[in-house]
Amino acid sequence: NASLLGILQHPDGTVLKQLQPPPRGPREQEFYNKVRSICPASPLGIFHEQIPSMFAAWSSSRLTTNTYLKLEDVTRKFNKPCIMDVKIGQKSYDPYASAEKIQQQVSKYPLMEEIGFLVLGMRVYHVSSDSYETQNQHYGRSLTKETVKDGISKFFHSGCCLRKDVVAASIQKVEKILEWFESQMQLNFYASSLLFVYEGSCQATAVRLSDVTLAEKRGVPKGLLSGGDVLEYNNNIHVISSTENGKIEASVSKGLSKFYALHKKACSKRHHSQLSLTVENLKQDNVWKSSACIAREHLNGNVLPQLEKVFYHMPAETKESANVEVRMIDFAHVFPSNAKDEGYIYGLKNLITVLQNILDN
């Protein structure tokens, strides 16, 4: 049932995030609506750059009990999107949370207050094996103050080398968000995240692929919906679209919808017991082990892929800036304030410190 998924892919290239029960869902929708009405030149205009665009609230005639937020798919322009979701702040519960909710959140990750952020999941493309490695919320909760640097550095590792260009670009983007938080005293954010996305393929410049090449073709499942509706089938996300000959075909999104569904499984108590999303079999063995970027036996073969790998080792300043997105997401717990959001600022600063250590070392 599509209603069990936190986010779905729409045929027009946007994603559909299911509205949470009140008061969380209406609060998030209200936040997006306010952002849409904000003048880009105003102090809150930063949100036009830093959050996915919301196009409308959306509902399906076949799914009348559900309302979705129709959002920009940040991963759509990437060929091999590498995605990481990091919850920011010292508290993952808002000021109005019950004692039971507070205890539940603190017990999930007792180090949140000290570290200031939590990795909710990551999906990394490895050039060397042409496969994805996925880590869920349990991986992030296993990280301590001593291991968090190495834990996050894995997100920036291509399977053959560390993408320092991506680390450097990510630092710049997080610093821009920090600069705004240091100056604003209007809003406080709880249980909100930063979504990191970068191009994982070994091409120097990311290529925008067509909608067809961005999806893996699958056979047509039973019970298709009409009119371009979304269908969840066998625990995978399917997008329904019409072909030229009038037939209906389904495709599986490779980007944000699949990753975000895993993220919602980790974060939403309501969906935790319901959502079961099967990801493709990924190579788990030796996936983090570094391998030589150029193997001697390949030098006499097709050298282009090897040169593309060497490209990673070039200093960031000598090549095009990395194709990186860092966006704020999840706004079900945003509240007016007359003081700086010190918890969020603390988390941003600690995250920048970790990223800088990864870059320096």
Per-residue pLDDT of 218-231, as tens digits, reads 333 333 333 444 33
Q: Are residues 97 and 138 in the same domain?
A: yes
Q: What is the CATH number of the domain that holds 14?
A: 3.30.200
Please count the structural domains in the chain.
2
Q: Which residues of 232-251 are buried (b: 16+ CB within 10 A; e: fewer)?
A: bbeebbbbbbeeeeeeebbb
Quick check: is 294 in a domain? no
The pLDDT, as a whole number, for residue 258 is 58
Q: Is the pLDDT at 246 greater than 60, yes or no? A: no
Q: Which of 50, 73, 96 is the last residue of a domain?
A: 73
Alpha carbons within 13 A on the beta-carbon side of 228: 10
Q: Which of 9, 44, 73 is the last residue of a domain?
A: 73
Q: Are residues 160 and 99 in the same domain?
A: yes
Quick check: is 310 in a domain? no
Beta-bridged to residue 192, according to DSSP, are 88
Quick check: is 144 in a domain? yes
Q: Which of 16, 50, 73 is the last residue of a domain?
A: 73
What DSSP character marks residue 228?
Answer: S
Share of the chain above pLDDT 70, in %: 64
Q: Are residues 96 and 178 in the same domain?
A: yes
Q: Are residues 93 and 195 in the same domain?
A: yes
CB 327 within 8 A of CB 84: no
Q: Are residues 168 and 90 in the same domain?
A: yes
Question: Domain limits at 64?
Answer: 1-73
Segment 257-264 shows an average pLDDT of 56
Quick check: is 59 in a domain? yes
Q: Are residues 78 and 198 in the same domain?
A: yes
Quick check: is 267 in a domain? no
Which is higher by pLDDT, 276 or 24?
Answer: 24
pLDDT tier for residue 170 given thresholds of 50, 70 and 90: very high
Among the ranges 29-38, 162-171, 194-203, 299-308, which has the highest mean pLDDT value?
162-171
Q: Is the pLDDT at 73 greater than 60, yes or no? A: yes
Q: Are residues 78 and 192 in the same domain?
A: yes
Q: Mapping DSSP to helix (H, G, I), strand (E, B) and coil, where does residue 60 land?
A: strand
Quick check: is 252 in a domain? no
Q: Are residues 83 and 195 in the same domain?
A: yes
Q: Mapping DSSP to helix (H, G, I), strand (E, B) and coil, where does residue 207 land?
A: coil
Q: Are residues 41 and 29 in the same domain?
A: yes
Quick check: is 128 in a domain? yes
Q: Are residues 24 and 69 in the same domain?
A: yes
Quick check: is 1 in a domain? yes
Task: Give the other-Cβ count within 10 Å of 56's Cβ.
Answer: 13
Q: Which two tokens stand for residue 355?
A: 């990223």
Listed in order, strand segments (DSSP E) in the chain are 7-9, 15-18, 54-60, 63-71, 81-88, 117-126, 131-135, 187-189, 192-199, 215-218, 230-233, 236-242, 248-253, 324-329, 334-336
Q: Is the pLDDT at 84 greater than 90, yes or no? A: yes
pTM score over 0.85: no
Q: What is the CATH number of the domain that holds 89?
A: 3.30.470.160
Q: Are residues 56 and 80 in the same domain?
A: no
Q: Is the pLDDT at 6 greater than 80, yes or no? A: no
Q: Is the pLDDT at 247 greater than 80, yes or no? A: no
Give the lowest-confidence range in 14-28, 40-54, 130-144, 272-286: 272-286
Angle, CA 6 vertex, CA 329 and CA 31 arms, to 5°: 40
pLDDT tier for residue 254 given thresholds of 50, 70 and 90: very low
CB 81 within 8 A of CB 255: yes
**In Å, what is the CA distance from 98 to each residue of 30, 85, 105, 231?**
23, 26, 11, 36
Sheet holding 117-126, edge to edge: 131-135, 117-126, 81-88, 192-199, 324-329
Tens digits of residue pLDDT in 41-66 = 777 777 888 999 888 888 877 765 57
Angle, CA 338 vertex, CA 335 and CA 343 arms, to 5°: 65
Q: Are residues 195 and 328 in the same domain?
A: yes
Q: Is the pLDDT at 321 greater than 90, yes or no? A: no
